[in-house]
Amino acid sequence: GADSGLSPHLRRSLGNTGIDVSPLGFGASPLGGVFGDVDEADGIRSVHEAVKLGVNFFDVSPYYGATKAETVLGKALKELPRDSFVVGSKVGRYGESTFDFSAARVTASVEESLARLNVDRLDLVQCHDIEFGDLDQVVNETLPALVKLREAGKVRAVGITGYPLDIFPYVLDRVPPGTLDVVLSYCRYTLADDALAGMLPALKAAGVGVINAAPLSMGLLTDAGPPPWHPASAAVKEASAAAAALCKERGSSLAALALQYALNADPLSVTSTVVGIDSTATLAKNVAVMMTPMDKTLLRDVKAIFKPVANVAWASGKFPG
Ligand code: NAD
């Protein structure tokens, strides 16, 4: 049921691709040191352990840790049977402010990712954070280049990612049907901001699979609080700290509630919720959280804390907050 725990062994089809992914996805950006140093051997073990526990979907990008996340994930994937995992990477973003969505660069980029990940085909390739680029270039040049790679069998599915929700209908309205298989949204289906929910019916009608990333809003919705670079406003950070304190008082954790909240999104619309995993300990914790039903009273009280600051977006790329 909608409020019971989920099994990591469940599978959902990524849009119309026939690619089956687990409801909990493994976000590999922490393996690139994005949230601080990680123990590489433990990071590799966490990938192997994830597959054993039923988590089969891995999200990465050359951007994360300047290719380090792909390299570490690739070391882990090398030891696994190819049909035991689904791996998605990205193109177009290479640094904090380094972007290149040209056909030539993204085509070369896929080859580089294949080499680092030790696979001969990507299950998914997505244009990374397109709100920083020219959306019309993404429509007219980048996506056609990725569709060619799909036709050549280098990638199985094609998508776009970004933070402002308006980018999704903008691109969907301008590409030929069947171009986009998947969209990845992040930080927009969380306890603090669930604006993605309003767009799910349209995305579902368009036949695209939806990946919901960063259910903890990039560390904001944790006891430890957000990293120093986190873009949320002071008011949202204060509400998060208050919510974390309340969860602690109730013998629970804000991170657990935040993950359960995202995992309980409409399963017909959201294919996989991708949470950042930095270690075997974080993996074990989140798989346990996934299988535990959500505390609805706590959810109501935490939602009340966020209500005055709910769904306040920050600026990203060429889009204002
Ligand atoms: P997140 O919301 O998943 O939070 C991750 C942070 O919370 C990490 O520091 C992690 O170690 C920590 N954490 C995880 N589980 C925890 C728990 N139970 N208790 C306490 N702390 C916990 O944010 P994220 O990692 O940025 O996002 C998840 C993944 O989604 C990324 O790794 C990436 O793969 C993907 N993502 C993609 C995009 C994009 O394509 N534009 C943007 C954001 C995220």
Q: Is residue 174 part of a domain?
A: yes
Q: Is residue 310 part of a domain?
A: no
Domain count, the chain: 1
Q: Is residue 305 part of a domain?
A: no
Q: For ligand 1, atom 7, name the residue with the nearest CA.
A: 219
Residue 237 in contact with residue 312, Cβ under 8 Å?
no
Q: For the chain, what is the total number of helices (H) and then of strands (E)?
A: 11, 12
Q: Is residue 97 part of a domain?
A: yes
Q: Tell me which residue range forms the domain holding 201.
A: 12-220+266-283
Q: Is the CB of 276 under 6 A from ligand 1?
A: yes
Q: Is the CB of 252 under 6 A from ligand 1?
A: no
**H-state helical runs in 173-233:** 200-205
Q: What is the pLDDT of residues 55-112, one digit of tens each?
A: 999 999 999 999 999 999 999 999 999 999 999 999 999 999 999 999 999 999 999 9
Q: Is residue 93 part of a domain?
A: yes
Provide the ipTM.
Answer: 0.98
Q: Is the dihedral of CA 306, 312, 314, 316 positive or negative?
A: positive
pLDDT band at 3 (very low <50, low <70, confident <90, very high): low
CB atoms within 10 A of CB 41: 11
User: What is residue 319's DSSP assignment?
Assistant: B
Q: Is residue 234 part of a domain?
A: no
Question: What are the respective helix, strand and coil percentages of the chain, to the nearest 5?
Answer: 40, 15, 40
Q: Is residue 40 part of a domain?
A: yes
Residue 184 in contact with residue 161, Cβ under 8 Å?
yes
Task: Write down the pTM of the prediction.
Answer: 0.97
CATH number of the domain at 100, please: 3.20.20.100
Q: For ligand 1, atom 36, name the residue with the nearest CA.
A: 213
Q: Separation of 141 CA from ligand 1 center, angstroms?
A: 30
Q: What is the pLDDT of residues 209-245, one digit of tens each?
A: 999 999 999 999 999 999 999 999 999 999 999 999 9
Q: Is residue 27 part of a domain?
A: yes
